[in-house]
Amino acid sequence: MTTHQTMGEATSDAVAVRGRDLSHELIGRITFTDMVALEIQAQLPGEQERRILDAVLVALTEHGLTPTAVVARLTDLGAPGALQGAVAAGLLGAGDHFLGALDGCGRILQEWPEEADPQAHARTVVTDMRAAGFRIPGLGHPTHKDGDPRTRALYALADETELPSLTRDRLDMLREAAEEASGRALPVNVDGAGAALLSAIGLPWQILRGIALVARTAGLVGHLWDETSRPTAAALWAAAEAAAPYRAPSTG
């Protein structure tokens, strides 16, 4: 039986998604979050999985005026009427630097060798990454120095839904090793917490960035609609142009 693997297929009187009848089994019966899970995992999530996925999606949707939001607004200024272009431009900045932590942290948590001494493994990971010049993904935050409030909220839900703590425990050992090595506090940030929770519900680390892209698309659509009632792009451009360091007068 391979039908369940088919992404989507249309006949004259039905559309099937992952082997399920879209009109009779899905529309009106499942939430969009269920659909996100179905698209990736080829099966509907349970109550626990859905609540975790909902929470992570909610946590990643809106981060204020990040570069991705600035980019979407500036793109709309130059190419009005092509919403998909402004959203696409914004998503293009959601790459290794901004969303990579989700993948990177999820990879560490998922490739953790079960047979190893976990604390020793955590120290090895930290030592190796620091030697290679990398920051440990999922830890630390420039604004939330005393702990990311979104992490607390996500972890509270994980406790409430009795989500297995394995990946959170691994992340905590990673945090301890990183704090010991760097000599400063590196609390688990929202990317780290998201990686731990999504790993615990079985999402492969390679696709964690995709979850963030779904959330970010909603955030960008929100910003672009906000732009129509409170245009900021021209002011953003003027500020950026005025700030450009290389526009300083020649010094010689």
Residues 47-76 that bind its own copies (CB under 8 A): 51, 53-55, 57-59, 61-71, 74-75
Q: Are 109 and 164 in contact (CB under 8 A)?
A: no
Q: Which is nearer to its own copies, 30 or 181 (CB)?
A: 30
Q: What is the DSSP string of 26-80?
A: ITTTS-HHHHHHHHHHSS---HHHHHHHHHHHHHHH--SS-HHHHHHHHHHHHST
Residues 193-252 that bind its own copies (CB under 8 A): 204, 206-207, 209-211, 213-215, 217-219, 221-226, 228, 230, 232-233, 235-247, 250-252
Residues 9-48 that bind its own copies (CB under 8 A): 9-15, 17-18, 22-24, 26-28, 30-36, 39-40
Part in contact with its own copies (CB under 8 A); list of ranges 90-98, 107-115, 120-128, 175-183: 90-98
Based on the shown chain and the rule CB under 8 A, indicate whether residue 5 belongs to the binding site for its own copies.
yes
Residues 106, 193: Cα–Cα separation, whole Å: 10
In the DSSP assignment, the letter for residue 245 is: G
Residues binding its own copies: what is the number (CB under 8 A)?
124
Residues 119-178 that bind its own copies (CB under 8 A): 143-147, 149-150, 152-154, 156-157, 160
Q: Which long-range contacts (CB under 8 A, 24 or more apart) does 149-153 make?
A: 150/59, 150/189, 150/190, 150/193, 151/187, 151/188, 151/189, 151/190, 151/192, 151/193, 153/55, 153/59
Based on the shown chain and the rule CB under 8 A, indicate whether residue 98 belongs to the binding site for its own copies.
yes
Q: Which of 45, 49, 94, 101 touches its own copies by CB under 8 A?
A: 94
